[in-house]
Amino acid sequence: MSAYIIRRLLYAIPILIGVNALTFVLFFVVNSPDDMARMHLGDKRVTDEAILAWKQEYGYDKPLLYNREGQGTEAFTETILFEKSIRLFVFDFGRSDSGRDIGFDISQRMWPSLAIAVPTLLVGLAVNITFALLLAFFRASYLDFWGVVICVAMMSVSGLFYIIGGQFLVGKLLSLVPISGYDTGMSALKFMILPVIVGVIGGIGSGTRWYRTLFLEEINRDYVRSARAKGLSEHLVLFRHVLRNALIPILTGVVVVLPLLFIGSLLVESFFGIPGLGSYTIDAINRQDFAIVRAMVFLGAVLYIIGLLLTDISYTIADPRVRLD
Amino acid sequence: MAFQPVVLWTDALIYLLLVLTAVTVWHTRRHEHLITPWRRVARSRTAQIAMVVLSVYVIIGLLDTVHFHPKTGEDEQGKPIYSTEVLSLFDQLAGPLRTEREKTYSAPFATHMFSKSNIELPDGTTVRDFPRLKYGGAHLGDDVSGKGADIVVRGMRGAFEGALLWLLLLFALCRFRPQRLRDLLTGRSETPWHYAAWTLLIVLLLGGAVAELAAKYHILGTDKVGEDVFYQALKSIRTGLVIGTLTTLVMLPAALLLGIMAGYYRGWVDDVIQYLYTTLNSIPGVLLIAAAVLMMQIYMANNADSFNSVTERADLRLLFLCLILGVTSWTGLCRLLRAETLKLRELEYVQAARAFGVGNFIILVRHVLPNVMHIVLITIVLDFSGLVLAEAVLSYINIGVDPATNSWGNMINSARLELAREPVVWWSLLAAFAFMFTLVLAANLFSDVVRDAFDPRLRQQR
């Protein structure tokens, strides 16, 4: 097991190098630092001195790959590649284009993201599994048919409308909770309710339908027929046998997104004004702060790879038939 | 000539897509085993209804694809002068919808503006009142008390015209034999097309009424700059369809080639290709798109001179968005194709072909490719609705289509803040919601039927 984990961790290294190379090409080769400087300074003041000053201020004035003036290893370390890209490997994100420490910002902002994302995931999971079990229990009936139709209809609504509708209905018309904002400590609770509800409702359509398929797949298996044949009641079959076996794909599907919960949801956070990593990213995109976007791309990739690793491990725990070696 | 044709980049790709579709249809019709699943699709009630709805969207989208510069006049030598504006066939048909602009917001079917402003009366005094719209309900004159009756009468007339058109159309389709028409409408013909026929009636009833009313009113109101919201929503159809279809089209060659090669050759080829898609896949899609679009924005800002017009720039941006969405979405298809090819290469007929000394390329094209096409088809239809929804989200965070392009995402984006107004400006959101929901729902329902008909695994279960 541990040998497998170590091997998987080693396998992650080339992938991270690939991600890093890709972001490097995207951010520094497609457009040179000069282009970025021009973009930031606006069209009016584009003298060469201004560009040079901007690049110096943000540390983009070094050569891309190889510094001819450097001594020894400095020929490689005094470059944009090393300063801006390779340092990401030790999670040194550097400073954003507005001068703030990105690593510090991330460590501050991941908590509000988690505060929204974790309840959304848990409540959503409970709601989706309940509905899916209900549909599977009444399979091939009118309830099942219309349930699936409603699921498909709910899937066809853009997430934007769930958010806008929720804000309008609950926040503005009924004035039950604040429309947007965030607070520290327990008073954050009233700001969390609406985003969580909206997030859960937005996921019901696809989630319920997907889990229902999983349940139905299990229901057609031989062991379920045996369980029925030995005289178990339908709901015992459903809860003791089908649910437990269907939980394997459900849980492993959840595990892969667990690390990404840190990043949170871009849309929900920006609409509800939650100071998490999602709105951090959106703000960076709108301000064209490339350092932050670059850091988030790398962080996202790292978290995704951790998620894949966790998935493989959780398989062995949830399903004793799977052995990793 | 009264116009000068313009072919934008996305237009060219849409034409290519049309040609490809035509070739596929022609090829399918000649092979019984290829038609069989489509027959299954056609027999489904949901698929018929969804198909009619989708074709309405496709027709509008295609009309909006034929672009040209209209003629504005002639110079001294009698040579025509063309406007720099790019219009489409749809713009031409929509006529007044495009040109009749109000000053600012007005509600659906309104005759007066949404907010009060100072109006100067002929005698020089000013009053604060709702100004009369320039075009909305202009035929009513100053006395608007008959508006309700007028709307009902016009709506009825339009619906009646729609019904007439429907009858004529179906009758023509049945080659003017009443017996056939009766069979068609009661579902007694070979393929029961009656659901499609009745859906078409509803669509034409609605379409007729809407067309008749839209000529005289702003049926979905006007937006901040006074543009007709109904027109915007219709123009957005093309953007939605382009994103939904061209994305898959541009990523298809890479996914097919790499997926099949990885599965067929295995070894280091497989390793390299797997590494490639794992790396791309490990970057969360939104972030990769954001990074790429940001870079493109800089490129476009720094090379502004190389674009002839706003339309051209917006079009290239749309194409680029399709490309980058394709880059993030080909990995799923590639993985599926690889797995399927791995399975296929061990099957007897491939082994036999290899034993006969058939070359790898021929085996791939003749034996492997046709047997993975159902996966490609299922992926295309399943991805479509997700891409349409993604466009709205991306446009909302400003990394989607150009702000000058009509799209549902841009409509939502600009209307969102108006919900805070009192009273609420809701019609832009409603229009975007209704148009998007109908398209995505139809696509979702259709793709489910297609998947059920083409997936051999699902077929066995029944």
Over residues B393-439, the pLDDT tens digits come to: 888 888 888 888 889 988 888 887 777 777 778 888 889 999 999 99
Query: Per residue in B296-330, pLDDT tens?
Result: 888 887 777 777 777 888 888 899 999 999 988 88
Q: Decide if B304 touches A, using CB distance below 8 A.
A: no
With an 8 Å Cβ cutoff, are A164 and B416 in contact?
A: yes
> Which of B295, B419, B421, B446 best probes binding to A when mutated, by most A CB atoms within 10 angstroms?
B295
Q: Which of B278, B301, B437 is nearest residue A156 as measured by Cβ atoms?
A: B437
DSSP B131: P
Cα–Cα distance for residue pair B436/B449, rounded to 1 Å: 20
Residues of B whose CB is below 8 A from A27:
291, 295
Measure Cα distances from B30 to A24, A186, B33, B347, B374 in Å: 50, 69, 9, 26, 17
Tell me the nearest-neighbour CA distance from B199 into chain A, angstroms. 18
Measure Cα distances from A231 to A24, A235, A239 in Å: 63, 12, 15
Cα–Cα distance for residue pair A224/A136, rounded to 1 Å: 13
Residue B445 vs residue B146, higher pLDDT? B445
User: With left for phi above 0 and alpha for psi between -120 and 50, is residue A233 left, alpha or beta?
Assistant: beta
pTM: 0.89
Q: Give me the CATH code for the A102-318 domain, please.
A: 1.10.3720.10
The CATH class given to the B229-461 domain equals: mainly alpha
**A39: closest chain B residue by CA:** B298
**pLDDT-wise least confident of A88-92, B196-200, B343-347:** A88-92
With an 8 Å Cβ cutoff, are B299 and A167 in contact?
A: no
Cα–Cα distance for residue pair B170/B162, rounded to 1 Å: 12
Question: What torsion, rounded to 10 degrees, do the Cα atoms B59, B61, B65, B67 define?
Answer: 90
Tell me the nearest-neighbour CA distance from A18 into chain B, angstroms. 6
Tell me the nearest-neighbour CA distance from A216 into chain B, angstroms. 11
Residues of A whose CB is below 8 A from B301:
38-39
With an 8 Å Cβ cutoff, are B302 and A38 in contact?
A: yes
Residues of A whose CB is below 8 A from B57:
none
Ranges in chain A annotated CATH 1.10.3720.10: 102-318
Residue whose C-alpha is closest to residue B371's, from B39, B34, B45, B71:
B34
Scored b (16 or more CB within 10 A) or e, B257-271 reads ebbbbbbbeeeeebe
Q: What is the pLDDT of residue A260?
A: 84
ipTM above 0.90, yes or no: no
**What is the three-class DSSP state of A95?**
strand
Residue whose C-alpha is closest to residue B390's, from A294, A206, A267:
A267
| Mean pLDDT along residues B9-31 | 91
Q: What percent of chain B has pLDDT over 90?
A: 25
Q: What is the pLDDT of residue B461?
A: 47
Cα–Cα distance for residue pair B375/B101, rounded to 1 Å: 47
DSSP B418: G
With an 8 Å Cβ cutoff, are B291 and A26 in contact?
A: yes
Residues of B whose CB is below 8 A from A26:
291-292, 295
Contact A270, A278 (CB under 8 A): yes
Q: What is the 3-state secondary structure (H, E, C) of A236-264?
A: HHHHHHHHHHHHHHHHHHHHHHCHHHHCC
Q: Decide if B278 touches A, using CB distance below 8 A.
A: yes
With an 8 Å Cβ cutoff, are B444 and A152 in contact?
A: yes
Q: Which of A18, A23, A305 is nearest residue B291 as measured by Cβ atoms?
A: A23
Q: pLDDT (tens digit, 0 to 9) for every residue of chain A, 325 residues total?
A: 788 888 888 888 899 888 888 888 888 777 777 777 777 776 655 777 777 777 777 777 676 666 666 666 666 666 777 667 777 777 777 777 777 788 888 888 888 888 889 999 999 999 999 999 999 988 889 999 999 999 999 999 988 889 888 888 887 777 777 777 777 766 777 888 888 989 999 999 999 999 999 998 888 889 999 998 999 888 888 888 888 888 888 888 888 888 888 887 888 888 888 888 888 888 888 887 888 888 888 888 889 888 888 888 888 777 777 766 5
Residues of A whose CB is below 8 A from B297:
39, 288
With an 8 Å Cβ cutoff, are B397 and A260 in contact?
A: no
Across B48-57, B166-175, B410-419, which has the greatest mean pLDDT? B48-57
Q: Decide if B271 touches A, using CB distance below 8 A.
A: no
